[in-house]
Structure formats: structure tokens, C-alpha cells
Amino acid sequence: MSDQSLSHQANDGHKPGKAAAAHSLAEILSQPDCWKACLAKLRQSQGLERVRDRFANSRGWLLIGCGSSYYVALAAAATMRSLTKSPAQAIPASEILLYPDLALASAKEWVPVLISRSGRTSEVLKTAELLASRNFPTLAITCTPNQPLEKMASLTISLPSADEQSTVMTRSFSSMLLTLQALAAVIAGDNNFSASLEQMPTAAEAILVDLPTRIREFVQAHSFADYVCLGQGPFYGLACEYALKLTEMSLSYAQVFHTLEFRHGPKSIVNSETLLVFLLSESGYEAECEMLSEMKSLGAPILAVVNQADGRVRAAANLVVELSLAVPELARLGPALWPGQLLGLYTGLDKGLDPDTPRNLTRVVTLEQGSLR
């Protein structure tokens, strides 16, 4: 798709100028090719094997980030636990800085994985310093080479093809997640999962043929006041990222809950102006479908993201996004992000905003030294 058609698609019927959201949309649509490039680089460099060998005696993995990078950590930790059968925990960098003894108490022989698109996020750099002072060898995952984080970590995996011009993270999020999933497969010696990750980008390209148009038309046909994003297990981190994309790109109020937890009080907010976004899993499908039907009976508008939908989902959801990918559930996490990224983008455009440059945000969060421990 050309840059001209990207700009036209991003701005069709909206207030911003021709270039509004052009970077964000191009970066969202570039993800299959970006993933192929990242996986090819990892194969050629043997970077994952070096990480596996360097940390062969580790007992667990502590995945650390801020904002979207923390949500990468949540989804990646779930994959790591599932494939390697070893402990893996996601934690915000701020928790380690403010409560180091509590955060690190059970991770003395774990590998800290520092995740930062820019390699310059203040809290992540300060966490790297703290970990070095306690003699933790560390792994860094970043999209920008030759930055401070790379110099501070014991090993670094850099993904420059996944970096972005837009402020918000889209392809950098999915590419860093994919890389950590590929690492988990290498550590586990799971060649079948590795092969599935290699197949997934090409298979997923078909999803993007009509998904942007479907999401754009859905947004233009409705006017939601609030959003609730729901997911369980590995999809909870994705639900968090959905909510953040809506907040960042469209200045919308978005909440996130574990799917079944939403009925324990939060469902009181259900009304015709609050969109519920369900990320439906395979392992929890029956229980999650019951929840979906219950929320529909309360009058909730629903967007459902699922690999294969049955009649119950089709009857209850206002919009169903089917991935239809013949790869394991965990290997589909990357494409499952796309509806949320596009929902945030087109909702922002519908409000007359430019999702490339959200209000009050910068590409890198840097803080004065005195504000960090």
C-alpha cells in the first residue's frame, strides 16, 4: 500500500490534515514484514541461542518495563511460563525502584529482562543501575541500538527495523513480544513453536486486507463514551495495551480487567455508550462466552476478537474480528493486537486528533535524576 493511499485511508472523512496518523497507520500495517525482518535477523545472528547459553543456569525470568513495555512483559511472561515451565514474572520498573527488596526478594537467581523501545527510558536505566549494584546479569530488549541501556546490560537484543516515527508503540510492541516468545521457544527447545512463529507473519497478512476498513467503519458508525478491555491469561497484557492505545491515541477513558473479574462489581458501568472489548481465548472460551452473553443481556455493545467464532459470539457481538490462524494460541498474540491498535487510531481520528502526536506525550520518558531513587 502506498504512502498516499495510507494517508487517504487514515483521514477519510476526518478533520486532521492529510498526514494525520500516517506514521501510526503505516507502522501498524507494516507489522508482518517487520516481524519477518526481526526473525531473520535473530536467525542470522544466533542472538537467541547466545542468550540461552549465557543464562543456562538461571531459575527464572523477571521481565521489566514501563507503559507499553510493561504490557509486553506481561504477555511475554505468560509465554515464558507456558513454554519453559520456569518461573517468569512481569513487573514495572518503578516497583523495583521504589520497593527493591520486595520486588527482588524471590528473584535472586532470575534473569532480569529490561524492555525499552528507545533504550533511554529513565526508570529502566535506573533499574539497570540498581540491578548492576546487586550483581544481577541482565538482558536488554530494545529497538534502538547504541543507547545507554545497551551499554549497561550484559547482553542486548536490538530490533532497529521495529522502531517507529510515531509517539505510541505499535510494531515495536509486537516485535519485542515476538522476540521474547521466540526466546522462550529456544530456551524450551520447542522447535514446533519456533516454526509456528516463523509461519505466522505470512499467514497473518490476510487479516490486514480488510481489518482497517472494518474498524474504521465501526468507529464511524458509533459514538462510545468509554471503553473496557477484557482478557485472561496471556491476553490480559494485550487487553492492557488495548486500553492504553485507546487512551493515548484517542484521549478516551479506557479500563482493563481480567474477563471474569468484570462481573464482580465493575459490570455496574455497563450501558449502551460503553464498548466492551473481549479478547477471547481457547482455554477459557466457554466461560468467556458465558460472560460475553451475560454482558450483552445487560445492553453492552461488544467487540469480540477471537481466532474462530461460533454462533454465540456472532449473536452477541456488534463486531467480530476473527484471526483464523492455524498456529498455536500463544503464537497469535501479535496479530491479536491489531484490532486494539486500529480502534485507538480511528477513534482518535474520529475525534479530530492526530494519533501520531498525542497530547502530553513524548516518544521517550526521561525524568530528572532527583525524581528517581
pLDDT at residue 20, rounded to an integer: 74
Residue 357 lies in a domain: no
Residue 233 lies in a domain: yes
Q: Helix/strand/coil (H, E, C) string of 200-262?
A: HHHHHHHHHHCHHHHHHHHHHHCCCCEEEEECCCHHHHHHHHHHHHHHHHHCCEEEEECHHHH
Q: Report pLDDT digits (tens) over 338-371.
A: 999 999 999 999 999 999 887 765 545 455 665 5
Assess whether 280 and 301 both reside in one domain.
yes
Does 232 have pLDDT greater than 80?
A: yes
Beta bridge partners, 110, equal: 60
Nearest C-alpha neighbor of 234 from the set 168, 290, 186, 280: 280
Domain of residue 272, CATH code:
3.40.50.10490
pLDDT at residue 16, rounded to an integer: 41
Assess whether 86 and 214 both reside in one domain.
no
Assess whether 208 and 86 both reside in one domain.
no
Banded model confidence at residue 22, pLDDT cuts 50, 70, 90: confident
Q: pLDDT higher for 359 or 282?
A: 282
Q: Report pLDDT digits (tens) over 128-140.
A: 999 999 999 999 9
**What's the mean pLDDT in 34-43?**
97
Does 83 have pLDDT greater than 70?
A: yes
Residue 27 lies in a domain: no
Query: Based on the structure, what is the number of domains in the chain?
Result: 2
pLDDT at residue 359, rounded to an integer: 72
60-74, 99-113, 234-248: lowest mean pLDDT where? 99-113
Q: Report pLDDT digits (tens) over 313-340.
A: 999 999 999 999 999 999 999 999 999 9
Assess whether 96 and 216 both reside in one domain.
no
pLDDT at residue 9, rounded to an integer: 44
Does 13 have pLDDT greater than 80?
A: no
Assess whether 246 and 160 both reside in one domain.
no
Residue 149 lies in a domain: yes
Nearest C-alpha neighbor of 252 from the set 335, 359, 166: 359
The whole model's pTM is what? Answer: 0.92
Beta bridge partners, 62, equal: 89, 112
Question: What DSSP state is assigned to residue 93?
Answer: H
**Domain end point (choices 189, 223, 256):** 189
Dist CA 179 CA 81 (whole Å) = 15
Assess whether 177 and 119 both reside in one domain.
yes
Dist CA 356 CA 250 (whole Å) = 10
For the chain, percent of residues with pLDDT exceeding 90: 86
pLDDT at residue 370, rounded to an integer: 56
Assess whether 209 and 341 both reside in one domain.
yes
Residue 102 lies in a domain: yes
Assess whether 52 and 185 both reside in one domain.
yes
Does 27 have pLDDT greater than 50?
A: yes
pLDDT at residue 17, rounded to an integer: 43
Find the helix packing angle between 171-188 and 191-204, rounded to 10°. 160
Banded model confidence at residue 306, pLDDT cuts 50, 70, 90: very high
Domain with 107 in it: 46-189
Assess whether 171 and 81 both reside in one domain.
yes
Q: Report pLDDT digits (tens) over 244-256.
A: 999 999 999 999 9
Dist CA 293 CA 93 (whole Å) = 38
- The total of other beta-carbon atoms located within 10 Å of residue 10's CB is 26
Does 8 have pLDDT greater than 50?
A: no
**What's the mean pLDDT in 61-67?**
97
**Domain end point (choices 156, 189, 222):** 189
Assess whether 250 and 317 both reside in one domain.
yes
**Domain end point (choices 189, 211, 230):** 189
Banded model confidence at residue 7, pLDDT cuts 50, 70, 90: very low
Mean pLDDT of the chain: 92
Residue 5 lies in a domain: no
Residue 50 lies in a domain: yes
Assess whether 118 and 179 both reside in one domain.
yes
Assess whether 131 and 154 both reside in one domain.
yes
Residue 87 lies in a domain: yes
145-154, 255-264, 354-363: lowest mean pLDDT where? 354-363
pLDDT at residue 108, rounded to an integer: 83
Nearest C-alpha neighbor of 356 from the set 153, 194, 219, 167: 167
